[in-house]
Amino acid sequence: MRGGWRVVAALALALPVTAAVAQPGGRAADDVPRVEVDDLPPLPDEGDLGSDTTIAVSAAAAAEEDVVVGAAKREQSLGNVASAVTVVAGDRLRRMGYRTVAEALRGVAGIFVSDDHMTERIGVRGLQVLGDFNTRILVLVDGATVNEPWGHFAGVGWDAAFSVDDIARIEVIRGPVSSVYGTNAFFGIINIVTRGATESPRMWGRFTASQYQAAAAAAGFAMGSVDKQVRGSVSALTRSGETLNDPELGMPIDADGAAAVGAGLVGRYQGAFGQLRFFRRQRELPYAPYNSELGNPDTRNIDTQFMAEGGYTRELSDRVTATGRAYVNGYRFRDFLVLADGSGTFTDIGDAFWYGAEARARIGLVGEDTLGVTLGGEATIVDTSSESFYVGDRAGGVIVETPLDAEGVYAELDGSPTGWFAFTGGVRVDRNSLLEDRVSPRAALFASKKDQYGVKLLYSEGFRNPSAFEGFFDDGTDFTASPDIGAEVIRSYEVVLWGRPIGGLTLRLSGFLWDATGIVEQEEIDLDPDPLVDDLRLQFQNVRDLRSTGVEVEGSYRSSAGWLAFGGGAYTKVEGFVDPGDGSEPPSEPVPGAPEISAVLGVSSPLLVDRFHLSGEGQVIGPRPTRDDTGMTPDIETYVGVSLAAYAPDINGFDVTLGVRNLIGKREQVPAPEDFDRESGSVFTLPGEGREVYARVGYRY
């Protein structure tokens, strides 16, 4: 990241000087003087800058938004990355008053997030498999994988393994990237890049409160330089939640609470790097899945995870850079389901412990950028187990142990033989001792005129092997294992047009076709061959194929005066195909939870009265089908949400945010998976989040 931050520093320092000298009104002239970036100091955090440095902050954030590291495990510009990418800079996070990554993702074109009061579930370009715990999105924090192997869960809301206060930027990388990362990089990647020591205050603290009896606190420290630093943070949350009224449930529900703690420690010493992270989240389940008792706060999920990673990067020569890293991680899921029939409390425990190592090298074959290759290999040892029993009768429970190992090797060749043409081509081969082996290619062609406009032609394949929960979980009551389950596979074809028609404005138009096969979903099966006896269980199976075809448009704008605007949307035709079993061509059918239209628009003002930014954001999610294919339940209506925030970055060392989410107050209706069905019948929709007013106050030293 050193090179990227030198560019940021150059822009940050050169632009305000030019603005002050060339134009007294604060506008920068076109002939910005050149500065030797090697001679510049590190860029400070925008929170440490005074109110007269709006142009510096704008320039720094704009430069930050043009750098991507998650798509190929190395720095790339947006014009030469083999995906359609959005970078949400830290400046935007704070101006818009986002409290979680999930809230930030709602402001990204083609992305929608549904909160069913169990977790926030990400949808990409119309695709969001009901009941999915973000298993088809690879979530990274500083390059380390967050998705765990027992259930492939990755939280992005109050259940995330990172605090929004630590984040420098969020990279949203659309489409499969299995050619570099292997499994789980299916619909895309969310790469969280945390703030370095030179971007953070030496010490800081922040407190958040909202109307839902919610309180959160976070604090951290940072010391050192770019190459020699240590930083850490801790956070805690308690949240009583909303009172929920749903006509289908027939009663108000108060059991919507959550509590979480987290901590992180990150260090770097020249080429060596490392991070330690821990979080624990407890979430009450107001909608009572698996026929548990409505409104009982003892019905809940608990997630606990620790992450440890360390490595070393070394420049072996002018053209060869090598990186090695090793990791050790652990995860435990536990639920408590107070059953509605009065039979007691049932609990499931899912454990995972995994460790591994990766080595990769970047080799410049011809010149600095003319031709290069990235080579790498990774090996992981995984030990998972499940245990299910009635509380008080552990001896009568079911235990399933599922150990496995996985290896992958990858290579990616990239080059820029002329000033206007570039290419990338790569492949990864994955082996799994228990599940499927896969080969995942990726190729891209780029044509551009410097940084003014260009076109990308993209092709990639991805896969996702089922989790231990999907393939081997058996609780003796509701679920049975699915030993014949296979991998999901996706192929992506995309054309991207991008341009910068005027200073500060970036536009992108994408046309895409995603073809996914073997999508894993829950099915109800009868284990007893006797037709007079029902032994109905849930089993994960490769149920359907999905196809998403559409267009996506996105734009962002920053002015030297301090204006920030972003927006975009996607139109998608999502089709599902289920094999009829008679050899005929499967007909197309609606896909539950898939909207044709999603759109977002956000605007943030310059500093008003030299004190605060005023920001607003609107979101639209079009109609969505439910699981009910009888026509008795209508599609979910279009949802329109508006949020406002006022952010004061510096009031005598304090930063203050006042905001309201979902100002209109009309709840989004969320498509419900089979988990929430009752013995009395199916539940097809659930009410999402209501209006919430909140305040945040921070102090830095």
Question: Rounded distance, CA 272 to CA 643, Å?
Answer: 42
Report residue 60's pLDDT band, with 50, 70 and 90 as the boundaries. low
Torsion of CA 516, 169, 60, 650, to 10 degrees: 140
The SS3 assignment for 365 reads strand
The CA distances from residue 648 to 55, 218, 219, in Å, are 16, 18, 19
Instruction: Give the residue-averaged pLDDT of 588-612.
Output: 95
pLDDT at residue 532 tops 50: yes
The SS3 assignment for 162 reads coil
Report residue 634's pLDDT band, with 50, 70 and 90 as the boundaries. confident
Give me the DSSP letters along 181-217: H-TT-SSEEEEEEEPPTTTS-SEEEEEEEETTTEEEE
8 Å CB contact between 294 and 251: yes
Domains and CATH numbers, the chain: 44-700 (2.40.170.20)
For residue 21, report the phi and psi dihedrals to the nearest 5 degrees.
-85, -40
Question: Rounded distance, CA 508 to CA 81, Å?
Answer: 13
How many other C-beta atoms are found inside a 10 Å radius of the C-beta of residue 417?
12
Closest CA to 94 of 701, 660, 646: 646
Question: Rounded distance, CA 187 to CA 146, Å?
Answer: 16
Question: Rounded distance, CA 176 to CA 549, Å?
Answer: 15
Scanning the structure block, which residue is given the tokens 């309201």?
Answer: 660
Closest CA to 72 of 203, 212, 189: 189
What is the per-residue pLDDT for 29?
33
Sequence-distant (6+) residues with CB within 8 A of 201 are 45, 47, 48, 222, 700, 701
pLDDT at residue 558 tops 50: yes
Torsion of CA 315, 321, 326, 332, to 10 degrees: 120
Cα of first residue to Cα of last residue in the chain, in angstroms, is 25
Sequence-distant (6+) residues with CB within 8 A of 428 are 178, 179, 180, 181, 182, 408, 409, 410, 411, 439, 440
How many other C-beta atoms are found inside a 10 Å radius of the C-beta of residue 240?
17
Please give the DSSP secondary-structure letter assigned to residue 226. S
Per-residue pLDDT of 118-138, as tens digits, reads 999 999 999 999 989 999 999
Per-residue pLDDT of 315-367, as tens digits, reads 999 999 999 999 999 999 999 999 999 999 999 999 999 999 999 999 999 98
What is the per-residue pLDDT for 294?
87
What whole-number percentage of the chain has pLDDT above 90?
A: 71
pLDDT at residue 41 tops 80: no
Instruction: Give the residue-averaged pLDDT of 530-541.
Output: 82
The helix or strand, by DSSP H or E, that contains position 686, with its residue range, turns out to be strand 685-687
The helix or strand, by DSSP H or E, that contains position 276, with its residue range, turns out to be strand 272-284
8 Å CB contact between 239 and 213: yes
8 Å CB contact between 60 and 94: no
Closest CA to 248 of 591, 688, 680: 680
Instruction: Give the residue-averaged pLDDT of 379-391.
Output: 97
How many other C-beta atoms are found inside a 10 Å radius of the C-beta of residue 688?
20
Question: Rounded distance, CA 397 to CA 455, Å?
Answer: 58
Per-residue pLDDT of 425-475, as tens digits, reads 999 999 999 999 999 999 999 999 988 999 999 999 999 999 999 999 999
What is the per-residue pLDDT for 2?
37
What is the per-residue pLDDT for 79?
83
Instruction: Give the residue-averaged pLDDT of 271-287.
Output: 95
Question: Rounded distance, CA 665 to CA 692, Å?
Answer: 9
User: Across the chain, what does the average pLDDT equal?
Assistant: 88
pLDDT at residue 94 tops 70: yes
pLDDT at residue 310 tops 80: yes
